[in-house]
């Protein structure tokens, strides 16, 4: 694990180059397509079989700092490696190239993965 010095203190940065990507991991993507921000964080929601395949993309859900109160949003924050409280938007899934997912931020714990699964089922009308 690396430690970076920031103006607000020390931030942990974990290198993921030697490990496989997993569902529930959060990555910061610089300059995502069709997004006015310079960067955005995304959580990987593809199943492990797809992640491990030769497909060049995985399905991800964007993370936003504003909440709209939908049942398809999952709260995340400092415990998951983010700078502040945010929300995963399951109604706005995107396909990102694996090579874009290099800046590992953190991982969702089992309880958040359960919430994410429920929100995805609701967003995709699978229940």
pLDDT tens digit sequence for 24-34: 999 999 877 76
d(CA 127, CA 116): 14
Give the pLDDT of residue 106.
96
Q: What is the residue-averaged pLDDT of the chain?
A: 85
Q: What is the pLDDT of residues 65-84, one digit of tens each?
A: 988 888 999 999 999 999 99
CATH code where residue 65 lies: 2.30.30.110
Domain containing 11 equals: 2-123
CA distance 112 to 115: 5
How many domains in the chain? 1
Q: What is the pLDDT of residue 19?
A: 67
Quick check: pTM over 0.85? no
Cβ atoms of residues 24 and 43 within 8 Å? yes
Burial 9-19 (b: 16+ CB within 10 A, else e): eeeeeeebeee
Instruction: Indicate if the pLDDT at residue 112 is higher than 60.
Output: yes
């Amino acid at each position: 694990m690396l430690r970076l010095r920031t103006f607000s203190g020390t931030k942990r940065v974990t290198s993921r180059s030697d490990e496989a990507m997993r569902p529930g991991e959060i990555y910061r993507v610089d300059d995502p397509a069709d997004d006015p921000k310079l960067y955005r964080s995304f959580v990987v929601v593809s199943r492990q079989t797809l992640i491990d395949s030769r497909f060049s993309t995985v399905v991800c859900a964007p993370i936003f700092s504003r909440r709209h109160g939908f049942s398809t949003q999952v709260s995340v924050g400092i415990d998951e490696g983010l700078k502040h409280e945010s929300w995963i938007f399951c109604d706005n899934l995107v396909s990102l190239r694996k090579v874009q997912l290099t800046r590992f931020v953190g991982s969702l714990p089992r309880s958040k993965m359960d919430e994410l699964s429920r929100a995805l089922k609701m967003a995709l009308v699978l229940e």
